Structure 1
Amino acid sequence: MAAVVIEENQQTRRSPWTGHASREELAHWQQITEGVAAVLSADVLERDRRNADPQAEVELLRSSGLFNLIIPTAWGGGGGHWESALHAVRILARTDASIAQILAYHYANLGAVVFYGDAQVQERLLRRSAQSGWSWGDSVNPVDPNLELVPAGDGYRLDGVKHFSTGASVGDAILVNAAVTAGPDQGKFLALALEHDRAGISFLGDWDALGQRLSASGSVKYDGVAVTSTDIIGEVGEEPFSSLVTPYIQLAFGNLYLGIAQGALERGRQITLARKNSWFLSSAETYAQDPLTQRVYGELASRVAAVEALADRTNERFDAAIADGGQLTVEARADIEIEIARLKVVSTEVGVEVANRIFEVTGSSSAKTEVGLDIFWRNVRTHTLHDPVDYKKVEVGAHFLLGEVQPISLYT
């Protein structure tokens, strides 16, 4: 009977987001995000090499208001749409993809409060988040063994380790997914909101990757952490609206990879224009005037523009889907999932290609550490391994040929 009640409640839930971002809204958040990116650009290479938790960068995001962008104005937030949030992720990725990733996951975790929580939980947590400008990290990685919740007194005890907990070590709040392993609620999968300094939580600081070095994606250990009823957001399920969290994060990835490609292309352009000579076999005076150089840039710029057009369309469509709330149908959820999977495929391939081939037109000197052109390739190469893009191709192909849709998961 409880499952039926949950289903009925989900169907009647209203989304706090309606309509679409206006040009004025997009321009407003673009200006703010570009200001943040300008600050980050001053020492992006130095910070990347230092590989420390991005505490100062998180404070910059907080002071800019970007953390509150999608929180409704009625709850003290910025009242922006998801299209504006995704555009902000893309803009930051042109300069610092690690910080863009933290922001992208922050929005996913805020969204999860709405997807899994009832109206009272939503207002309580998002109002508190807006008032303090909270940063939200997470411990959700579905390929790890589940974190375990065991009944203890009036609540639970949380135990386990989660790897790839992006933003958790620098977050004010942590979104945690955990399985109840005993008691009357055994088998339920719950979403929790825990504060950073809760007793029993330790951050292992073991994130040491080729790229995305400042994404604060290290492991978190939970050792007998006390969980009360007020920490529980709700039950994680497969209802269309609540499961939009996965298409969103895949859409954020598409914008992240696009932003990295745009950043690499612009940095390459700067380097090429600064070169005063040309290859000795060329009849052109400078590399920028060489038709072979122009051909590569023309190819890469055209592909980036195509991905941008698809991303813009998909970002806007996501706002339409999320506005349906509990009325979102299985079919509509599948449509936006496939659209996003298409973007994931092309943004991955174009992002990696641009970040790699940009070296062909900037020359051997661009491989120097001090130039820093490698940061784009390292970042996009690292993050595109998050989940295999070949499975996204299969997802799109199976739907195109047979109308099949993959089972709902934290990857589809």
Structure 2
Amino acid sequence: MPTAARSPTVPARPTIPPLPSSARQPTSNRKEPDVTDTTTQTIDTTRSPWSGTASREELAHWRGVAESVAATLGEDALARDRANLDPTTELDLLRDSGLVNLLDPAEFGGGGGHWESAFLAVRILSRTDASIAQILAYHYINSGNIGFNTDAAKRADWYRRTVEGRWIWGDSVNPTDPNLELVPDGDGYRLNGLKRFSTGASAGDVVLVNAIVRGGELDGRFLFFALDHDRDGVTYLGDWDALGQRLSASGSVRFTDVVVTPDDVLGIGTDEPFSTLITPGIQLAFGNLYLGVAEGALAQGLDLTRARPAAWFLSTADTYRDDPFVQRVVGEFASKIAAVEALADRAGRAFDEVIALGDDVTAEIRGEIAIEIAKLKVVSTEVGIEVANRIFEITGSSSAKSSTGLDLFWRNVRTHSLHDPVDYKKLEVGAYVLNGELQPISLYT
């Protein structure tokens, strides 16, 4: 097993606001998963481990935490992007800040937070480092399977271990690349095959894997299971070579006769409405990521524009910041970003309200929140790409210098927005608005 290379040292971290008194942070750094632990600490047996919605105080706390982390990441984001190494040091920053355990129940030492707070953190980190924001977003979704797909009786053990170990959950679940073979072997399974686009897997602590069982009493069923990073037979190929999101640790993973025990299994996939909320959740994370990139591109563009001397020789203004054409572009961008932000906030609050219903989530309710989030996916994709691309119109030719790094925003949003075609999200929304039709449940819808 090759040792993951570490990124350049992250600068000293700003002071981070303390967590609410109801939460505590473990003192360990990266703790290897103990897959044999059988602690029987109890947890509320209601279907959803999340209730209610985020308070102003909760949102303010996690906003402060995320802004501190984003400021640190922003100090050398371009240099780290160019180094193109697995972000192990950056993930320590997420652990130390408490962001990785934001959604975990407070009774186990987690942050006891809501999904709206988690998506806000993803948005804020995306303003300076969308790669690390992507890993955090996927971590929330991957570890969220504990709440969505694990029986209440098993949740306590999973939550206790992920909080105490401060695990970051990577994944190897790409549904368009189903080249995994999971076959019964004794009371467990053997896993073989290759998965591409495994975000966070090589740099995190555990790897969430989805695979269909071939043979035995669960033949044809879809299993969710988690493997510790250094499990025998798991090899990280380090072949991620995209133009953006370079530090998202999204390379391929090869599985060779990997032992999967019953203790590794989180749950069995179904089309039951509550458990399948995980898919609208990841799409909501994407919407916030693209919004954050747009906000970050505009922020850097404004700094560059304010620093520009004089103005274009045909302009009636003395400086670029006073040029009416520059102001028009800025006004357009700021207005579009504000609209996307309002939709993202509304969708984030609604998502928590739906999750709090637990077993009362119906197929119709699940479909309606998926459509609301699909609307965000459409507009955040378009605004993210537009702002990151057109920001150069107000910053001028000098901003195209490699050392400026303004291209990082476009490279990141252009790369990640290809995750799944936004045109199909437009079709989802249109089919629902016109005919009340909902798409079949999948890992993309």
| 114-123 vs 186-195, greater mean Cα deviation | 114-123
Is 1:30–2:68 an aligned residue pair?
A: no
Name which of 275, 280, 286 aligns with 2:319.
286
- The equivalent residue for 1:318 is 351
**Amino acid in structure 2 at the alignment position of 1:110:** S
Name the counterpart of 1:345.
378
CA distance in 2, matches of 1:372, 1:241: 42
C-alpha distance in 1, partners of 2:187/2:374? 42
Matching residue of 2:82? 49
What residue in structure 1 maps to residue 39 of structure 2? none
Q: What is the number of residues matched between the two proteins?
A: 401
Q: Which amino acid aligns with 1:18?
A: S
C-alpha distance after superposition, 1:193-243 (max 9, x if no partner): 110000000000000101000000001111000011101111011110100
* Cα offset, 1:146, TM superposition: 4.2
Distance 1:265 1:202 in 2: 39
Give yes or no for the alignment of 1:159 onto 2:192. yes
User: Per the alignment, in what secondary structure is the counterpart of residue 40 of structure 1?
Assistant: helix
Task: Supply the distance in 2 between the matched residues of 1:120 and 1:378 (Cα, whole angstroms).
Answer: 44
**Is residue 149 of structure 2 the alignment partner of residue 149 of structure 1?**
no
Give the residue type in structure 2 aligned to 1:156. Answer: Y
The answer to whether the aligner puts 1:250 opposite 2:293 as a matched pair is no
Q: Does structure 1 residue 330 correspond to structure 2 residue 363?
A: yes
CA contact (8 A) 1:146 1:179 kept: no
Q: 1:394 aligns with which of 427, 438, 441?
A: 427
Structure 1 SS opposite 2:440 = coil
Amino acid paired to 1:51: N
* AA aligned opposite 1:60: L
In the alignment, the residues of structure 1 paired with residue 339 and residue 218 of structure 2 have an alpha-carbon distance, to the nearest angstrom, of 48
Partner of 2:10: none
Deviation at 1:149, TM superposition (A): 1.1
Q: 1:306 aligned to 330, 336, 339, which one?
A: 339
Q: Secondary structure at the match of 1:282?
A: coil
Report what 2:230 is aligned to: 197
Partners of 1:351 and 1:298 lie apart in 2 by: 15
Give the secondary structure class of the aligned counterpart of 1:170: coil
Contact 1:148 1:179 in 2 (8 A): yes
Q: Which amino acid aligns with 1:337?
A: A
Q: Counterpart in 2 of 1:230? A: 263
The one-letter code sitting in structure 1 at the alignment partner of 2:189 is Y
C-alpha distance in 1, partners of 2:104/2:76? 30
Pick one of 84, 109, 112 that aligns with 2:117: 84
Q: How far has the Cα of 1:132 moved from its partner?
A: 1.5
Identity %: 66
2:391 is paired with a residue of what secondary structure?
helix
Gap regions ≥5 residues in structure 1: 1-11
Letter in 2 for 1:289: D
Partner SS for 1:214 = coil
Corresponding residue number in structure 1 for 2:129: 96
Select 1:140's aligned residue among 173, 179, 183. Answer: 173
Query: Equivalent of 1:362, from 386, 395, 417?
Result: 395
Give 2:293's aligned residue.
260
Partner Cα distance (1:403, 1:117) in 2: 31
Deviations 1:11-66 (A, max 9, x none): x9521101111111011111111111111111100000010000000010001100
- The answer to whether the 8 A contact 1:260-1:376 is kept is yes
Q: 2:33: which partner in 1? A: none
Q: Report what 2:9 is aligned to.
A: none
For residues 297 and 32 of structure 1, the distance between their equivalents in structure 2, rounded to whole angstroms, comes to 28
**How far 1:183 sits from its partner (Å)?**
1.6
**TM-score (ref. length: structure 1):** 0.96
Residue 154 of structure 1 and its aligned partner are, at CA, apart by 2.1
User: AA paired with 2:60?
Assistant: A
Q: Which residue does the alignment assign to 2:439?
A: 406
Deviation at 1:389, TM superposition (A): 0.3
Q: Which amino acid aligns with 1:212?
A: Q
Runs of 4+ with deviation above 6 angstroms:
none
